[in-house]
């Protein structure tokens, strides 16, 4: 059995732990051969971006962030960005990807990624490529699995940021806004906001109004120390308004979706019209994706990496591994097409509200 391995989409903590799990179990126990495909699907379209992946390449990578294979969130064979006469155009290069797969003598592909990467794998599988998937993303927005790896690390980093912002907020009586990632899902903001004790949490699933947030800040201002900590998800937007976009989809060839960013600044500007306290915005950005994965992410990634080989061994192509309760189980790869978001009536949201946290609704 000769398998291609690729990591696609944004990098996230635990990718290397997963690659190591795949190669170690696959080589040692199952005697499979592996080909590392660089930069996601780019390595399946462009020549000379696929190389043997052996135990030697995986030594020492377990605690490292990022991915030794490189990744891309723009290389989609169905809409591949190519420059023609100085202009970017998108082309369907699935035939090239399928041919490369055959040229590399692959018996199957292990695709590691979020909804975009796994959806492409699922569509390639419909065209005859044998593929299995492993779900990753710091956004935790895939409905096919209870949790993706990468999320636990990002959540811990966001929580630490909330803790650290308390220092300046408290000392200067400021309103400190922390903007975190998550695309259209508010999990990172919700969890880190609650874990860090934020006073206001603003998520895309609950469009906000400025008035309740201003009220909350004023209520806190009667205390001796009158600071407020607000965690804002990058996808959050005011009721009746739109998301803050850092870059339009058409400005990013091949990516297919907008790049979000600026939600914290939008809220700060709105609040500044109503309050006198100093407001500062911190955008956590890629700090929340970087560095060493937590033990929980290393474990989940290792479990996914080992389990996905069961799917290959048992011929369960077109499936991905998923965490369901405490078990890692196969689910159809098509499940990756369904995204998940925070239920505005979820227990955690209700408990946070019952403790006085404002969601701006
Ligand atoms: O999907 C992971 C993620 O980090 C999102 O939370 C964020 O919106 C996006 O990727 C940022 O992507 P990039 O690093 O390409 O700007």
- The mean predicted confidence, pLDDT, of the chain is 97
- Residue at 8 is within a domain: yes
Same domain, 178 and 70: no
In this predicted structure, the answer to whether residue 279 has a pLDDT above a threshold of 90 is: yes
Instruction: Tally Cβ neighbours within 10 Å of residue 276.
Output: 7
pLDDT at residue 222 in the model: 80
The structure tokens 């930069």 sit at: 39
Same domain, 144 and 158: no
Q: Pick the range with the lowest mean pLDDT from 17-26, 120-129, 219-228.
A: 219-228
Atom of ligand 1 nearest to the CA of 235: 8
- 175-180 β-sheet, strand order: 200-202, 228-233, 175-180, 279-283
pLDDT more than 90, % of the chain = 97
Tens digits of residue pLDDT in 307-329: 999 999 999 999 999 999 999 99
Catalytic residue set: 139
Same domain, 167 and 272: yes
- What CATH number is attached to the domain comprising 62? 3.40.50.450
- What CATH number is attached to the domain comprising 223? 3.40.50.460
CA dihedral 161, 163, 165, 171 (to 10 degrees): -160
Same domain, 145 and 156: no
- Total domain count, the chain: 2
- Residue at 353 is within a domain: no
Same domain, 200 and 243: yes
Kindly state if the Cβ of 341 falls inside 6 Å of ligand 1.
Answer: no
Kindly state if the Cβ of 74 falls inside 6 Å of ligand 1.
Answer: no
Kindly state if the Cβ of 11 falls inside 6 Å of ligand 1.
Answer: no
- Residue at 259 is within a domain: yes
**Total-model pTM:** 0.97
- 131-135 β-sheet, strand order: 50-52, 33-37, 2-7, 108-113, 131-135, 319-324, 327-332
Protein residue with its CA nearest to atom 12 in ligand 1: 10
Same domain, 206 and 228: yes
Same domain, 95 and 228: no
pLDDT at residue 225 in the model: 77
| Structure token pair of residue 227 | 């600071």
CA distance 124 to 131: 8
- Residue at 244 is within a domain: yes
- Residue at 351 is within a domain: no
**What separation in Å is there between the alpha carbon of 174 and the centre of ligand 1?**
28
Tens digits of residue pLDDT in 39-78: 999 999 999 999 999 999 999 999 999 999 999 999 999 9
- Residue at 265 is within a domain: yes
pLDDT at residue 164 in the model: 98
Confidence at 223, pLDDT banded by 50, 70, 90:
confident
Same domain, 326 and 274: no
pLDDT at residue 147 in the model: 97
Instruction: Tally Cβ neighbours within 10 Å of residue 287.
Output: 15
Same domain, 128 and 233: no
**What separation in Å is there between the alpha carbon of 60 and the centre of ligand 1?**
26
Mean pLDDT calculated for residue range 3-23: 98
Q: Pick the range with the lowest mean pLDDT from 42-46, 267-271, 300-304, 336-340.
A: 336-340
Tens digits of residue pLDDT in 139-159: 999 999 999 999 999 999 999
Give the DSSP H/E element, type plus range, for residue 80.
strand 80-84
Atom of ligand 1 nearest to the CA of 181: 6
Domain that holds residue 98: 2-149+293-337
Mean pLDDT calculated for residue range 26-33: 98
User: End of a domain among 270, 289, 308?
Assistant: 289
User: End of a domain among 267, 289, 311?
Assistant: 289
End-to-end CA distance of the chain: 55
Confidence at 258, pLDDT banded by 50, 70, 90:
very high
Same domain, 191 and 238: yes
Confidence at 221, pLDDT banded by 50, 70, 90:
confident
- Residue at 105 is within a domain: yes
**What separation in Å is there between the alpha carbon of 181 and the centre of ligand 1?**
7
Mean pLDDT calculated for residue range 87-113: 97
Same domain, 157 and 145: no
Mean pLDDT calculated for residue range 100-113: 98
**What separation in Å is there between the alpha carbon of 95 and the centre of ligand 1?**
28
Kindly state if the Cβ of 181 falls inside 6 Å of ligand 1.
Answer: yes
In this predicted structure, the answer to whether residue 3 has a pLDDT above a threshold of 90 is: yes
- Residue at 343 is within a domain: no
Same domain, 16 and 139: yes
């Amino acid at each position: 059995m000769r398998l291609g391995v690729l990591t696609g989409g944004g990098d996230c903590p635990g990718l290397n732990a997963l690659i190591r799990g795949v190669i170690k179990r696959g080589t040692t126990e199952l005697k499979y051969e592996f080909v590392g495909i660089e930069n996601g699907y780019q390595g399946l379209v462009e020549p000379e971006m696929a190389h043997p992946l052996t135990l030697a390449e995986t030594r020492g990578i377990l605690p490292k962030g990022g991915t030794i294979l490189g990744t891309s969130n723009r290389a989609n064979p169905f809409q591949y960005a190519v420059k023609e006469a100085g202009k970017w155009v998108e082309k369907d290069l699935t035939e090239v990807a399928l041919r490369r797969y055959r040229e590399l003598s692959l018996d199957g592909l292990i695709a590691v990624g979020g909804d975009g990467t796994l959806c492409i794998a699922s569509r390639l599988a419909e065209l005859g490529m044998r593929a299995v998937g492993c779900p990753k993303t710091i956004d935790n927005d895939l409905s096919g699995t209870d949790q993706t790896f990468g999320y636990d690390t990002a959540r811990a980093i966001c929580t630490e940021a909330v803790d650290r912002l308390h220092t300046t907020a408290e000392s200067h009586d400021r309103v400190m806004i922390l903007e975190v990632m998550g695309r259209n899902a508010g999990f990172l903001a919700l969890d880190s906001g609650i874990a860090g004790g934020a006073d206001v949490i603003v998520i895309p699933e609950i469009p906000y109004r400025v008035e309740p947030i201003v009220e909350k800040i004023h209520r806190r201002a009667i205390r001796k120390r009158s600071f407020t900590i607000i965690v804002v998800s990058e996808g959050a937007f005011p009721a009746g308004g739109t998301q803050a976009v850092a870059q339009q989809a058409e400005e990013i060839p091949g990516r297919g979706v907008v790049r979000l960013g600026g939600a914290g600044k939008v809220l700060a500007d709105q609040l500044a019209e109503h309050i006198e306290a100093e407001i500062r915005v911190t955008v956590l950005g890629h700090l929340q994706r970087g560095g060493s994965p937590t033990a929980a992410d290393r474990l989940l990634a290792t479990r996914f990496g080992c389990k996905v080989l069961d799917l290959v061994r048992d011929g369960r192509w077109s499936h991905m591994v998923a965490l369901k309760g405490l078990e890692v189980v196969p689910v159809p790869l098509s499940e990756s097409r369904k995204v998940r978001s925070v239920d505005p009536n979820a227990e955690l949201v209700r408990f946070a509200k019952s403790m006085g946290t404002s969601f701006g609704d």
